[in-house]
Amino acid sequence: MVHSTAAYKDYMLQCAGCHRYDGTGVARNGVPSFRNSIGLLAALPQGRDYMIRVPGAAQSQLSNAELANVLNWAVMQFSPGQAGLGFRLFTATEVGASRQQRFDDVARVRRALAARIAESGHHLAPYTFGKNE
């Protein structure tokens, strides 16, 4: 269930420390906002894979089902206007299939996704991590 109390609690315990309780993140520290942005990622197959494989998600203590629930909740909570852009709910099976693969350069992957999304006239929240590498 997308609007579950469990997903909210898991977000607060596993994600809010960096992305904040309201999803605004801390751009100056390389933590992007989820607000009006995360739905753009969730609408693309490569974006969904990215959301599952970013270190904070992939290495969290959440089970595959719990992580899928948190990702669904976060999209609906912080990016509801973008959920209609092709978003489908994450599943435990999808999370389990992607989660174990690690990125060599997560910043490069996000920049490539941002460029692809910009081609469609949309923009992800600012992300400064890895800009000077």
Residue 50: domain span:
5-119
The whole-angstrom separation of Cα 9 and Cα 122 is 30
What is the predicted pLDDT for the residue at 27? Answer: 84
Residue 124 lies in a domain: no
Answer whether residue 31 is part of any domain.
Answer: yes
What pLDDT does residue 130 have? 63
Secondary structure of residue 128 in the 3-state scheme: coil
Mean pLDDT across the chain: 90
φ/ψ of 36, rounded to 5, equals 50, 35
Grade residue 89 by pLDDT with cuts at 50, 70 and 90: very high
- Which tens digits make up the pLDDT trace of 56-82? 999 999 999 999 999 999 999 999 887
> In the structure, what pLDDT confidence band is assigned to residue 1 with cuts at 50, 70 and 90?
very low
Number of compact structural domains in the chain: 1
Find the CATH number of the domain harbouring 107.
1.10.760.10
Asked if 119 and 40 count as a contact pair (C-beta separation under 8 A), the reply is: no
Query: Which pair of tokens denotes residue 7?
Result: 């997903």
Asked whether residue 132 is assigned to any structural domain, the reply reads no
